[in-house]
Structure 1
């Protein structure tokens, strides 16, 4: 068992964490980093990982996004132990709403958005915190009746308990203390009857016995509200929290708006491997170095909240590209076959082993398949020279020694050296000025193609 487990305050409980994406768009690297940390923590301590689909926004939630979320997580190896859908729990949320109303922790408010905005500006102008003043609680019965006759429908605010400070047990930040009097009563139910994220989330966390809530530090202030709501709903025990420092990019915020840059689906389609994504995101913001060679078991055994920094971390897509390149260079053929299925590739093991050290992502291997097996218009620098080389090609069968044999003959006959010796041959045979060693490529291209290309013909 890992030595860092002494920091977990509930070692005798069955650990359960959750990842709760909204199916209103595709997952991006920011989402996956949170999912990955939850998953690694759960697996490191022998716990379970719940996938909760937050699909209460019926106007924006789409089934295609649900399916893509599941596909992305599966592709990355983040397999869930159970899955829940918030849209199937509406009766339960209504039940909790009624309970909070009866216990006077949820109260109706009739201010319009415009009125609330004016109050907020006045408070800020007076250099006061923009906290709701609970004016709705001071309305007389006839005033409420008048507002309703005007057609106003209430939104419902949660009454924050100011009697004691809120203390969160945070695995990264330690104990975080909030003064509840400085927290504005949040809206849990909107005018149209729809609920905000906080309400349904806390109910689910209680009902599903979530032991640890792990998310970005931008949710820290919201967690103080969650803590108050847990008590109001009669939770037997508060979950532990872990607020991870945010991840940003050179463009600023990482969001669904930049799907082509940060989206998991887009990265997969571009040829980036799951292994590179997982290895980078698992180590960003920790004291560990990023390493291309870590497998899932390594990442689980190395996981510790103690390793996380308190500072915002930078996600650099160039770093991911370079890491993916290292993954490709060291990838066994069996693993490569799995990646190739995404693109319906049919690449032989011989081509893979010859060319993998010269590719950045899985799609690049297609170039070397074409060079070895398909027609190619050669690039000719010196036709007399390359035609001369074509006449001294060794007879087949060819092997890894054929290139040295040909090179030795060429040096003697043409009195060339350095680039003048090999570059015209490489360009004629491959069409590019760098790549795998010709001793590896010649047997794969074959004598007939080499002969035609050296003579300037399309092979």
Structure 2
């Protein structure tokens, strides 16, 4: 059975970059009838916040990405200690004491000598006496994983064959001096323990994957299959990472972006297949293929979400929006008619409020100076309410007869006078919904 996972850190809100990872993993599990795990990587106790964890769950529920179970790394600390002791016993963990300044000096020295800035494994040569002396000096030891210096190879689901020489990579630090277990280790333990079989994540994790494959094998586990998607850039190819905070799902939702519009874009963006609007996740999963995605940086423009949102919203039935319409205060006997008239002129559902305000309160006429006399004459000829779908045609015909105006010169000034807008639904449909006649 295919088991995938989405493992956000609850140190902030989910943004579009996180969503790409979550969605790909979800669709792979959904398509195969497998399991999708939500795993909160919350070992950083200082930065992890419950409010962020709660918002992550709300965002996923809004999108319809329902998880099969929730796991929290903060509840598995004993398991990580157990796994660490096992690897220490196998000679795969070793204690080191260098300060960040000392490591930086080593790297600079290696670079000046034309060598790769890889950790020199000086910690391996320390005797027990030397370690005790360092502790007596006030230094705290931390732990690195001893990599086998061989080529690490796998066939990536997006990037194809990958081969990384472990000798070109520093032995990763997996446990800090304060005892905090770092992502690379905790994630490896979890993926093996939880039976994860497929992981999709960003291309910035490729080197992590290489080291994690060795960690998993050292634990006696079988590494899952991996696929690394490209990173998102801005619409002009600029780095997006600094703007991701403004592209949180929470903020996009507040702007009126619809869940299916967002999912439809992210499920195809960066693939060889065109973006199209889907109406439900089952359709999305059925046609999903991680192998169609490319390695090149993927341009993301938040503005692309609004045409998709418009298409989705305008395709909704009255039953799907009746609660939203009722919340505006639209009378029940006018609600469906209001939706039918307004829906073709909105991008997000929030736009309905402006149309109902117009129909309920009337408009402030928009009248050009050269049309003022004409509009005043026309309004004087406006039939008394109630108005019907026939009123517009009858009224404009009478005004045409009286003034000689026709075409755009007739209709546009009257539309602007009645609605205060240059564009909108057919005026024949608008007239019955207008509660008040405009006054100049």
TM class by smaller structure? over 0.9
Whether contact under 8 Å (1:170, 1:242) holds in the other structure is: yes
Partner residue in 2 for 1:173: 159
Using the alignment, how far apart are the partners of 1:380 and 1:174 within structure 2? 63
The CA deviation at 1:182 is 1.6
Partner residue in 1 for 2:401: 412
Q: Which of 360, 363, 371 pairs up with 2:350?
A: 363
- The answer as to 2:91 corresponding to 1:104 is yes
The verdict on how the C-alpha distance between 1:220 and 1:442 changes in structure 2, with shifts beyond 3 A counting, is same
Instruction: Summarize deviations over 1:88-114 as a string: whole Å, max 9, x none.
Output: 111111111111111111110010000
Using the alignment, how far apart are the partners of 1:306 and 1:198 within structure 2? 25
Corresponding residue SS for 1:243: strand
- The answer as to 2:410 corresponding to 1:421 is yes
Partner residue in 1 for 2:29: 42
Whether contact under 8 Å (1:28, 1:255) holds in the other structure is: no
Using the alignment, how far apart are the partners of 1:316 and 1:207 within structure 2? 38
Q: Which of 302, 310, 318 pairs up with 1:333?
A: 318
Using the alignment, how far apart are the partners of 2:169 and 2:254 within structure 1? 44
- Give the paired residue count: 433
The CA deviation at 1:161 is 1.4
Using the alignment, how far apart are the partners of 2:388 and 2:215 within structure 1? 72
Using the alignment, how far apart are the partners of 2:36 and 2:239 within structure 1? 27
Whether contact under 8 Å (1:106, 1:159) holds in the other structure is: yes
- TM normalised by structure 2 equals 0.93
Matches within 5 A, 1:19-418: 19-162=6-149, 164-235=150-221, 237-250=222-235, 252-255=238-241, 258-260=244-246, 262-337=247-322, 340=324, 345-346=328-329, 348-381=335-368, 382-394=371-383, 398-418=387-407
Instruction: Summarize deviations over 1:117-171 as a string: whole Å, max 9, x none.
Output: 1111111222211111101111233322211110000110000012x43222322
Whether contact under 8 Å (2:382, 2:395) holds in the other structure is: yes
Using the alignment, how far apart are the partners of 2:328 and 2:257 within structure 1? 15
| Greater mean alpha carbon deviation, residues 100-109 or residues 402-411 | 402-411
The CA deviation at 1:255 is 4.0
Corresponding residue SS for 2:267: helix
Instruction: Summarize deviations over 1:310-332 as a string: whole Å, max 9, x none.
Output: 21110011212222223233333
The verdict on how the C-alpha distance between 1:165 and 1:293 changes in structure 2, with shifts beyond 3 A counting, is closer
The verdict on how the C-alpha distance between 1:232 and 1:370 changes in structure 2, with shifts beyond 3 A counting, is same
Using the alignment, how far apart are the partners of 1:322 and 1:218 within structure 2? 31
Corresponding residue SS for 1:27: coil
The CA deviation at 1:397 is 5.2
- TM normalised by structure 1 equals 0.89
Structure 1 gaps of 5+ residues are 1-13
The CA deviation at 1:266 is 0.4
Using the alignment, how far apart are the partners of 1:197 and 1:66 within structure 2? 17
CA RMSD of aligned residues (A): 2.0
Whether contact under 8 Å (1:41, 1:300) holds in the other structure is: yes
